[in-house]
């Protein structure tokens, strides 16, 4: 299986070489964590086998921390003489989505975000401080599910930007009213909190099963309201 350092190496090279925006160590730790978390949630399998620990400033993979700690808070540049890790096109495409979404946030913002999410908060209370893969998978899958449901109720699924998982993730944060989370959007949260009622033109009985029929015939000469009243009478 790929190691966390394989993933970190890909992120470092992609950020510097493709995006022209080298990543710093703290951001790298959080990007590696979110890559693992969303890969678990979306694909039912880990991206790498290394354990993730809940440290003071957020989730950390010790092996990745050890490899890049010498950079301090400075941008990371890979050693050109060291061959790049090979992860394959599917993983590369997935990681480019992760970087594309999370790179808009600073290292400190990413750190604060993980502090308001259950996997880090739960693990930080134990001496072992390991963030279990199962906890990541369940939490982020449920958060995305909440977001997708909230968006669907307001008929917004057709307008959300790609990647869709990130839209579900943000909508989940807003729908759960996680107001202290740095990704929280009060405008979206208020929209998702609006009640969604039944169409005013239809009586409540219209949504009950049609008596003795599987469908309703709407004819050209009959007003739709009359057809509805006939169907439910």
Question: How far, in Å, CA of 85 to CA of 232, rounded?
Answer: 65
pLDDT in tens, the chain (233 residues): 799 999 999 999 999 999 999 999 999 999 999 999 999 999 999 999 999 999 999 999 999 999 999 999 999 988 776 778 889 999 999 999 999 999 999 999 999 999 999 999 999 978 889 999 999 999 999 999 999 999 999 999 988 988 999 999 999 999 999 999 999 999 999 999 888 765 556 666 666 665 555 566 777 777 777 777 777 66
Predicted local confidence at residue 78, as pLDDT: 83
Question: How far, in Å, CA of 120 to CA of 140, rounded?
Answer: 12
Kindly provide the residue ranges of all beta strands, DSSP E only, lying in the chain, ordered along the sequence.
52-55, 58-60, 130-131
Question: How far, in Å, CA of 128 to CA of 132, rounded?
Answer: 11
């Amino acid at each position: 299986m790929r190691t966390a350092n394989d993933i970190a190496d890909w992120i470092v090279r992609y950020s510097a070489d493709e995006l022209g925006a080298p990543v710093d160590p703290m951001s790298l730790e959080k990007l590696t964590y979110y890559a693992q978390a969303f890969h678990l949630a979306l694909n039912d399998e880990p991206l790498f086998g290394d354990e993730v620990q809940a440290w003071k400033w957020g989730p950390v993979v010790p092996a990745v921390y050890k490899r890049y700690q010498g950079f301090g808070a400075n941008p990371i540049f890979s050693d050109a003489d060291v061959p790049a890790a090979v992860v394959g096109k599917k993983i590369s495409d997935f990681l480019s989505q992760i970087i594309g979404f999370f790179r808009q946030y600073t290292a400190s913002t990413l750190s604060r975000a993980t502090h308001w999410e259950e996997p880090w908060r739960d693990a930080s209370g134990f001496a072992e401080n390991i963030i279990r893969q199962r906890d990541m998978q369940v939490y982020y899958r449920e958060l995305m599910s909440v977001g997708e449901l909230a968006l669907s109720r307001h008929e917004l699924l057709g307008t959300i930007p790609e990647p869709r998982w990130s839209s579900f993730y943000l909508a989940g944060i807003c729908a759960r009213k996680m107001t202290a989370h740095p990704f929280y959007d009060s405008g979206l949260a208020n929209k998702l909190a609006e009640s969604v009622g039944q169409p005013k033109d239809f009586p409540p009985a219209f949504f009950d099963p049609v008596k003795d029929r599987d469908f309703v015939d709407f004819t050209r000469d009959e007003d739709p309201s009359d057809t509805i009243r006939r169907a439910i009478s």
